Structure 1
Amino acid sequence: MIAQTLSEEQLNEFDRMNGGGRTTTDTFYDFLVRCVLSEDDLKNLEMKPNKKYLGPICEGTMGEIFGPRGIGKTWLRDAIAYCLTRKLNLGPFISNEPAGVLIVDGEMSLNLLKDRRILSEHLPATIKPLDIISNEYLYCSGNPVINLSDPLWRDAFLELIKETSSRWDVIIFDNLSSFLPGIKENDQESWAPINGFFLQLKWMGKAVIFIHHAGKSGDQRGTSGREDQLDFVLKLTLPAGHDPADGCKFDAMLTKSRSLTGAEAAPFTFEIVEHENGGLTWAVTNQRESRKEIIIALLGNGVSQKSISDLMRVDKAYVCRTRTAAIKQKLLNDSGTGFTAIGSLKYGGFDVEKYVS
């Protein structure tokens, strides 16, 4: 058997992936021979359990948050960063231990980045660091801006992460399009080296999150192959009956999660609200509960089950189950088409016009 040695280009790529340590006589065959694990080897392999930070965000995971333009993805990004660095829960996402965070921001102005710090005004002190790399700050400082399609930029990030060691546990790239100029989003081949870069960060023990735009269909833009390596995907959508005057308010749902099930994986509604002591904060509500209440209010106002299914974007069976339960609880009349006295007191004040208009 002849085992061909690696070309210089392949050796350089090996260095990039592994930080050196190869020799000119290494072959792919040598790598395979050295890394075959027997069943007993695997059983006795000493591995530290991955740290759990916040909900689906764990050590060595990779995730995506996507939604339409202007929905408020960056507000959620900041709330997640504050929860990670201060060990705070975020709705159904439970905080297990604090994590240092690096936000890599591709397009927000420095003024707006500063203004958004208002969210932290009434929060506890940080436990772990929160740092930001801003494309605008790079540009204003006379430096080139980040382009992750360039292997030199990817190498620079890998070197930075290695040098800073344990300072950052979670790295958030916001947003994907701003860091990949000229890349065709539907081309899986163009995505391959970017995916390899994120995987390297993941294998270094970092949790990697990238933020992306949704297309006209509501799904993420670009190749579906982007999701293959992801541990979680959080999809953001506008709630039924949303009024732009409500400001930043959206529904969040995990469409993919390898680590969460049950209540912690439940969809939720996120919104930016005024803090009682001035400034802004965020509020998270259980989407299933609020959705159920809206359905009961619509039923009590005589809206048909089919119309409710269309308006609320839920299965007809879910509407039917909610109606049956509300009848049993004496909230709706026997036909399920109007309120009882109790139901009217509890749900009669709901503004259903914004859902049916």
Structure 2
Amino acid sequence: MTMLPPDFNRLSPEIQDAWRSRINREAIEAATAEYHAEERLKPRHGPADTRGATYRVAPPDAPPAFVPAYTKGLVALTGAELLQREFPAREFLLSPWLPSKALAMIFAERGIGKTWVGLNIAHAAAGHGSFLRWSAARSCRVVYIDGEMPAGALKDRYAAIVAGSDFDAPEDHFRLVAADLQPDGLPDLADPTAQRFYDDVIADADLVVVDNLSTVCRALRENEADSWGPVQSWCLRQRAAGRSVLLIHHAGKGGGQRGTSRKEDVLDSVISLKRPIDYDASEGARFEVHYSKARGFWGEDAAPFEARLVDGKWTVGEIAVDDSPDTIRAMKESGATVREIADRLGMSKSAVDRKLKGGRE
């Protein structure tokens, strides 16, 4: 059994909590193993089966393999205490959608440019700069965790981003944690026992970018809501510690983020990157930016727009809306649902239905 280190009282509160959690986890795992060993030896009440012996299985309420250590108790405020409590004002790491202590997601189909967008966001936040229609209120420390791309390719992309920017980020305000650079690969962020290996590298970060969920959270079963629990708990701990987290994810076949919708429950902002209706592969990085969840901002700030990379420079503009019956019918024939068409064109589903019927007539 793990014991507390001799200099335990000199460690930071966060490291002390990690030690307590580890010791508590090992004790629970040992007790669980002992419980199952004893249960296997107990005979089942009733007649034996044809093999001559029967054994009881663990009941549904058997101790779990891991229970977090709640060493400090829960805090509850009365209404009066809540009104009198002073909370630090949330500043924008990137306005209008990424404040401090925020959880957000960007998702898109493969090949649209998720990593380009993620790296540009990281550079803008680290350098007190701007990207697309978003601007940083100050320079902050960013840790970019990438589990997919070769480190050399990430270097080339970041070099292009820096070269095309009119601002610089302090050297220690952007840090890359790439799978290629780790002798044993990245720890699985969906595994509660492996999450602690990220503690040191993100200790002073204001923003943590995870690119992407499929490669960094390898044990995550995307379509199972319960599987999201460990990752959500990790995200909430980062928010409680004063950090923001941006998750980069893939889009599913239906156009939404891939997997269970439970991922979006605790998120402040969810951004979808989509191909324009008239997109051509020769155009390279060109996409529409849509806010599928916008907590705390609205109106023009939450309006969709189009972005395009031309000669190393990003340009933005309004989305050209063509709501003619021919265009809507073409979108339907390409596999888009009525809801997706309505969302893309800013129309109601009934209006889309009328256009489709009118086009057929």
TM over 0.5: yes
Asked whether 1:108 is paired with 2:145, we answer no
Alignment partner, residue 75 of structure 1:
116
Alignment partner, residue 31 of structure 1:
73
Superposed CA offset, 1:41-99 (max 9, x none): 11221211112121211111001100101111111111111221222233332332222
SS class of match (2:292)? strand
Superposed CA offset, 1:5-60 (max 9, x none): xxxxxxxxx988955789x9xx979824xx22112211221211112121211111
Alignment partner, residue 350 of structure 1:
none
Among all aligned residue pairs of Structure 1 and Structure 2, give the percentage whose two residues are the same amino acid: 27
Alignment partner, residue 47 of structure 1:
87
CA contact (8 A) 2:145 2:211 kept: yes
Once the two structures are overlaid, the 10-residue window that deviates more, 238-247 or 124-133, is 124-133
SS class of match (1:103)? strand
SS class of match (2:238)? helix
Displacement of 1:271: 2.0
Superposed CA offset, 1:128-168 (max 9, x none): 71110000111xxx334321122232112234433xx3xx2
Q: 1:305 aligns with which of 321, 324, 328?
A: 324
Matched residue type, 1:134: A
Aligned pairs for 1:60-209 within 5 A = 60-116=101-157, 117-123=159-165, 124-127=167-170, 129-138=173-182, 142-162=183-203, 165=204, 168-209=205-246
Displacement of 1:308: 3.8
List alignment gaps of at least 5 residues for structure 1: 1-13, 275-279, 296-303, 321-357
1 CA distance for matches of 2:100 and 2:145?
A: 18
Superposed CA offset, 1:144-203 (max 9, x none): 4321122232112234433xx3xx211100000001224321111111011101110111
Query: Residues 203, 283 of structure 1: CA spacing in aligned structure 2 closer, same or farther, 3 A cutoff?
Result: same
Query: Residues 28, 257 of structure 1: CA spacing in aligned structure 2 closer, same or farther, 3 A cutoff?
Result: same
- Structure 1's consecutive aligned runs of 4 or more residues displaced over 4 angstroms after TM superposition are 14-22, 27-30, 309-313, 315-318
Superposed CA offset, 1:286-309 (max 9, x none): 33xxx15xx4xxxxxxxx832244
TM-score with structure 1 length normalisation? 0.70
Of structures 1 and 2, the one with the larger relative CO (CA 8 A, separation 6+) is 1
Query: Residues 198, 76 of structure 1: CA spacing in aligned structure 2 closer, same or farther, 3 A cutoff?
Result: same
2 CA distance for matches of 1:96 and 1:242?
A: 33
Matched residue type, 2:169: T
TM-score with structure 2 length normalisation? 0.69
SS class of match (1:251)? strand
List alignment gaps of at least 5 residues for structure 2: 1-12, 25-68, 332-340, 352-361
CA contact (8 A) 2:103 2:267 kept: yes
Alignment partner, residue 38 of structure 2:
none
Matched residue type, 2:306: T
Displacement of 1:254: 0.8
Asked whether 1:283 is paired with 2:337, we answer no
Count of matched residue pairs: 277
Matched residue type, 2:252: G
Query: Residues 160, 317 of structure 1: CA spacing in aligned structure 2 closer, same or farther, 3 A cutoff?
Result: closer
Alignment partner, residue 345 of structure 2:
314
Asked whether 1:267 is paired with 2:298, we answer no
1 CA distance for matches of 2:105 and 2:211?
A: 10
CA contact (8 A) 1:91 1:285 kept: no
Alignment partner, residue 255 of structure 1:
292
CA RMSD of aligned residues (A): 3.0
Matched residue type, 2:324: Q
CA contact (8 A) 2:132 2:314 kept: no
Once the two structures are overlaid, the 10-residue window that deviates more, 45-54 or 203-212, is 45-54
Query: Residues 266, 93 of structure 1: CA spacing in aligned structure 2 closer, same or farther, 3 A cutoff?
Result: farther
CA contact (8 A) 1:16 1:155 kept: no
